[in-house]
Structure 1
Amino acid sequence: MMLHQGLPTWATLLLISTTAALTLPNYRGLRIDQSRQGVLHIAFNNPDSEINVWGEDALKGLTDIVQRLQNDTETKAILFTSDVPKYFLAHLDVLSQPLDPTISQRSVELFYSLTNLPQVTIGAVNGVARGAGNEFLLSLDMRFAVKSHSRFGQPEIATDYLPGGGAPQYLPRLIGRGRAMEYILTGKDILAEDAERMGWINKAFDSEREMKAYIDDMLKVLTLYSTRAIGLNKNAINVASRPPIANTLADSNAFSESAGRPETQKLLGDFLELTQNLSATDVELYLGESVPLLYNLSAS
């Protein structure tokens, strides 16, 4: 009850802290917005990809940002969105071959660092988030999505991989062992409404406007609290719910080892053919339904 009595106006909030905000440089593929007191808004916008794939620019940029945030007490929340219509983060960038064998491990280390931040991390999704994109979201504290365009999934099995960014460890803790088996072993998508029901995401919305309003109201409360208090509570919840990094690193090693197999290389080549080199086609948009087509190509 007390939380809703006498909440300060935005004008008052702006006067609560007079310490200079965190200063960040420009990052390729990331749009930074610090216009709101206590909130760091990061939007993904990979300039080299129609489908906003997860790659080196985002990985390096976020790694630098996370390091800068470790001791920042003025930022209370980090909000992640996408500037690319229909795509939050499609999946790992597999267009450049051979894949960098370290990208999975470096992604795992970044995702784990995100869970350790004293700030609240929130994903606001209005598009596709699969593979590394979904695993990025799983490492955040909260996930919200719009029903119309949002799809989540782990299609790695279709190209002879396993998810190497944490999904086999995080998903069972969120949705249970059986459902994690179902989605990881088939590679099929889950829509936002079902993802909400299972606990994959926090809440699904009918419109982006409704999602923004909901998150905005939550941020008004979160930015009242100290970063110390937020971090203290996060750490306690992490103890009860976060997988050990050794487990996610083991998955990442298995992912990297798969890259050298001839069968995997063949399927990855077929995947690039099927997706027209990761173009924004219906195949990518509905990838969970499309991945079985890889085996028609492999048989031809």
Structure 2
Amino acid sequence: MEAVATAARGLVHHCQTVAAQRLTLHSPELWVSLLPVVFYWAVSAYFEVLDRLKLPAFEKHRLHSEQEAQARNQVSRSHVFWRVLLQHAIQVAVGVLMTLADPGFCDAKPWTGWLAAVPEFFVAMLVMDAWQYIIHRAMHESKALYNAIHSHHHRMIICYAYGALYNHPLEALLLDTVGGVVSFYASGISCKGSIAFFTFSTVKTVLDHSGYRFPVNPLHGLFPNNAAYHDVHHDPRGFRKNYSQPYFTHWDWLLGTYMAPGELKPLAIKQQQKQQQLQQSGQQDGDGKKEL
């Protein structure tokens, strides 16, 4: 018993020491987890204002109307709000635990400037894309995983900004939080660089779920994975397409799950024509029966 008490006191002392040194407002270890959360809600608030103001100049760039969102979405905005807050709490907690377990992780790779960080950023993007494609597609391919976990995210058929990270807590942990940790260590990015990378990734994810496709958007021009691209995946017609997120689309191209956003409308027309043909066929069968 005494050994357990001694170990507990030692653990508490370790946590207090690390927190005092590594989890202050001036420590990058804290901002790795905290700054992406701040930007998530700041960017989401901007799009929430646009949704509520309904300015004609912006409304014409919305992918779906508010009426359509209310009619098709299967989860309330308040539920989404609290679920995202839970995910952010888990995300920050994992960051704190990571610091307590490895206090020197920010010292392992010193910051050497933005130019040196560019290749690290690119590798981190590729790792993040690969991780999320594999996990995301597995959630769709497995009926059990989809029904138990990933179906939560697809209750939001019409996307909006602050619902970007609306997931089952287990998926949030596996897809985003663990995916971030894997990207961090696999890319060898510095701690300060990772603050910028995770914040940028968060902003990109919010933009991809914002429900807006503006004609001028540097990020959408630079990265083919954008709001219109991801909107295909949330549409039931593109349910098994466009798994890639948040940056590039090469995994969908390589593995045959790519669907261009422009294909949805022609597909809808084909379905309408097929329905009309079925109706006409039914009418002809009915006329034939009457003649008999």
TM superposition score normalised by structure 1: 0.24
**Normalized per residue, which structure has more strand?**
1
TM superposition score normalised by structure 2: 0.24
Higher radius of gyration, 1 or 2 = 2
